[in-house]
Every structure is written in structure tokens, then in C-alpha cells.
Amino acid sequence: MSRRSPDGGRRLEAATAAGVMPLEGIGEAAALERLIPGTGPWELELGFGKGRFLLARAEAHPEQRFLGIEIAHEYFALAARRLARRRLTNAALLHGEALYLLSAILPRRFAAAVHVYFPDPWPKSRHQKRRLFSPATVDLVLGAVAPAGRLWFATDFLDYGEEVAALLASYPGARALRRSEWPDGPRTNYEAKYVREGRPILRLEVALDAEPALHPAGRAAVLAATAEG
């Protein structure tokens, strides 16, 4: 549950069509606007991998603004080069840990769409505290969703997907709809591969009808961690 400190103390990086740079203005409301000025609605992808979906969306919708977060530096650097080659002035990438960036840097309720596709399920019990979706962290993810916005989620790890579906079903104000497929087809390299292989995928479209708050089942853990800090 990375609410208080950045990934390993590394300097946070951002990439735009102009190149890679340190992420300045941490915690400032205007920091994101300096990356991509404008008035277009934002879309956010957590864990963009090689950038297939995010960059394709940015190319197809120049009137919108797109932000991606990736913790793997190899993928961040690859996507940053692709972003620069395509000269996409409406997209920016961040290298860092998603939960930290959501809790400490990014504004609340700024994204009309939040995309999370095939996140690491961390199946071992001792690693599950690292999950993007848990009772102690789900409010950070949903907290990025703008009023009337949507969270889009997919995983091939069905046990984890059912846990996420149950978590969202018990979150006040969240409504999750299961999807058999996306209207625009597979959205990531993983999804395209798994569809070809006939592997089952759990997909969710989530709307939020209330102001994001701590999940009732995670409140005690979050408050305890905050008190320890």
C-alpha cells in the first residue's frame, strides 16, 4: 500500500512528445496541466506496458488528453520513444508506482476514463499487499475517476478478477457491469494474444455514483498505516 513514499526513492520521470524529463511540481495541482495544457478530457491508464492501447487512443482522439503510468522502466522507455516518434502532443507518460502517484501527485477525479488491463495479480498471499485493487487501495484507483466517468478493467487471472468484482460490488456507490468483449476489440497485446488462444477474460465496466471514500473493509488498515507514519 504505497500511500506515503515513492518507488524506492527514485526520481520520478515524465515523457511527452518533447522527450523525457524529471516530473516537477510534485503535489501541485497544476503539475499535470503543465505536461499537457488544454481543456480536453483526460483518460488514464495504469500499467500501460508497451503503450499499444494508450498511444492508439491518443492518436485516434486528438481532442482528448491521455496519461499513462508504468513501473517497469524498460516499458516506460519503449513507450516514450514511440510517443516521440508519433509526435503525439496530447499524451504523457509517467514512470513510477501507480498507488503512490495516485495518492500524492495526481488530482482527484480528473479522468473521464481510467483503464486497468491485466495488472499483476500477485497470487502469493505474502505479496497481495502490492495489488492495485485491495480494500486498502481501491479508493485511490476510484478516486481518479471523474463524475460520470468510468473505470475499465480486464484480467485473465479469473480468481483475482472475481475478487476485484466482489470488492467493487461492496464499495459504496460503485456499479460494475461485466463485459464479454470490448466494442473496439482487444485493447492490449496481452488481450489480443489471449483472445487468439481462447483464454477466458474477465472484463468490467465500472461507474461510480458517490464521492470516493475508504472502503469499509480497508479503513482500519489505512488509518493504522497513516498513524504509524
Give the pLDDT of residue 142: 96
C-alpha cell read off for 129 = 499487499
Task: Give the span between the Cα atoms of 181 and 1, in whole angstroms.
Answer: 31
Give the pLDDT of residue 27: 56
Give the pLDDT of residue 146: 96
Phi first, then psi: what are they for 89, rounded to 5°? Answer: -85, 0
What residues contact 87, with CB distance under 8 A and at least 6 apart? 17
Sign (positive or negative) of CA dihedral 145, 76, 183, 61: positive
CATH of 7-19+27-228, one of 3.40.50.150, 3.30.1360.120, 3.40.640.10, 3.40.720.10: 3.40.50.150
Out of 28-37, 100-109, 169-178, pick the least confident.
28-37
Provide the mean pLDDT of the chain: 88
What residues contact 74, with CB distance under 8 A and at least 6 apart? none
Residue 5 has pLDDT above 60, yes or no: no
C-alpha cell read off for 56 = 492508439
**Helix, strand, or coil (residue 65):** strand
Full strand arrangement of the beta sheet holding 42-46: 19-22, 13-16, 91-95, 65-70, 42-46, 111-117, 145-155, 202-208, 174-179
For the annotated catalytic residues, the residue numbers are 120
Task: Give the span between the Cα atoms of 99 and 105, in whole angstroms.
Answer: 10
Q: What are the pLDDT digits (tens) for 66-77?
A: 999 999 999 999
Residue 88 has pLDDT above 90, yes or no: yes
CA 162 to chain centre: 19
Give the pLDDT of residue 3: 39
Q: What are the pLDDT digits (tens) for 126-168?
A: 656 778 999 989 999 999 999 999 999 999 999 999 999 999 9
C-alpha cell read off for 149 = 466517468
Q: Band the pLDDT of 222: cuts 50, 70, 90.
A: low
Q: Which helix (H) or strand (E) holds 116?
A: strand 111-117
Give the pLDDT of residue 1: 39
C-alpha cell read off for 174 = 460503485
How do strand 19-22 and strand 13-16 relate by DSSP bridges? antiparallel
Q: Where are the domains of the chain?
A: 7-19+27-228
Q: What are the pLDDT digits (tens) for 160-203?
A: 999 999 999 999 999 999 999 999 999 998 899 999 999 999 99
What residues contact 184, with CB distance under 8 A and at least 6 apart? none
pTM of the model: 0.89
Q: Band the pLDDT of 6: cuts 50, 70, 90.
A: very low
Task: Give the span between the Cα atoms of 176 and 204, in whole angstroms.
Answer: 6
Give the pLDDT of residue 49: 94
Residue 55 has pLDDT above 90, yes or no: yes
Phi first, then psi: what are they for 168, rounded to 5°? Answer: -70, -35
